[in-house]
Amino acid sequence: MRDWLSFWNSPNRIYVNDHHRDVHYREVALEIRSLVPSPSATVLDYGCGEATGADLVAQAASRLLLSDGAPIVREKLAARFAGNGKIAVLTPDEVARLAPGTLDMIVLNSVAQYLEPDALDDLLAVFHRLLAPDGRLVVGDVIPPHTSAITEITALMKLAWRNGFIGAALFGLVRTLFSQYRALRSKLGLTHYTETDMLEKLGKAGFRAARRFPNLEHNDQRMTFVGSPVP
């Protein structure tokens, strides 16, 4: 594995089983759905992953655009939602070519940690151009510097207990010790932000933002921010 994109574009075991994957994406989708500004909104979920719960978001919007950098992920998305006329799958280049001001909400969930700070700045500049003047930017699952492995394990165990896959989760933790994800994380690391750092970054990119509680994902030690573009 050379980089994070190569990891996501290959078979991996980031989820302990399909039930864990679907629970994860369903919970995230319900949080995103609660933030959709109106039934007429066009929403972009950028770096969406497999997004098995995307139909729940589409129910609350006029149009849902799903984009991921990994071709294999896009192929799965296109097949899964081929019958849903509200959902379209785009490449990152296709997103960048959208007309200015055409999106009402953009979601960037669990992506910032895999980007270098300059790359995130570039992406935020694209988002600022694409959002409508009254649009909404949601940046979720940002990892603060103080997050520990114990915190992550505890959050996973709580999710597993609530949703009936505690045994698989325990097995998955052992498997993770020897996984490509752990090896790549040790090699490349993840990008961390304090709450102040992320608010400053969003402000410099032209967004007026605040932290949102709860986080979009199950680990509430991580952070979600909601902002709007400043003209």
Computed over every residue of the chain, the mean pLDDT equals: 91
CB 209 within 8 A of CB 226: yes
The mean pLDDT of 61-88, rounded to a whole number, is 97
Whether the pLDDT of residue 137 is over 70: the answer is yes
Say whether pLDDT at 14 is over 90.
Answer: no
**Who has greater pLDDT, 149 or 10?**
10
Q: Residue 196: which CATH number?
A: 3.40.50.150
pLDDT of residue 176: 63
Mean pLDDT, range 61-83, rounded to an integer: 97
Q: Quote the domain boundaries for residue 218.
A: 4-229
**CA–CA dist 24, 51 (Å, integer):** 9
pTM for this predicted structure: 0.90
Cis-peptide, bond into residue 71, ω within 30° of zero: no
Tens digit of each residue's pLDDT (9 = 90 or more) over 149-180? 778 878 878 887 888 888 877 766 656 655 66
Element (H, E) at 131: strand 131-142
101 by DSSP, 3-state: which?
Answer: coil
pLDDT above 70 (res 65)? yes
CA–CA dist 8, 31 (Å, integer): 23
Q: Between β-strands 131-142 and 87-90, what pairing exists: parallel, antiparallel or unpaired?
A: unpaired
- How many domains does the chain divide into? 1
Q: What is the pLDDT of residues 23-56, one digit of tens each?
A: 999 999 999 999 999 999 999 999 999 999 999 9
Partnered with residue 108 across adjacent β-strands are: 46, 139
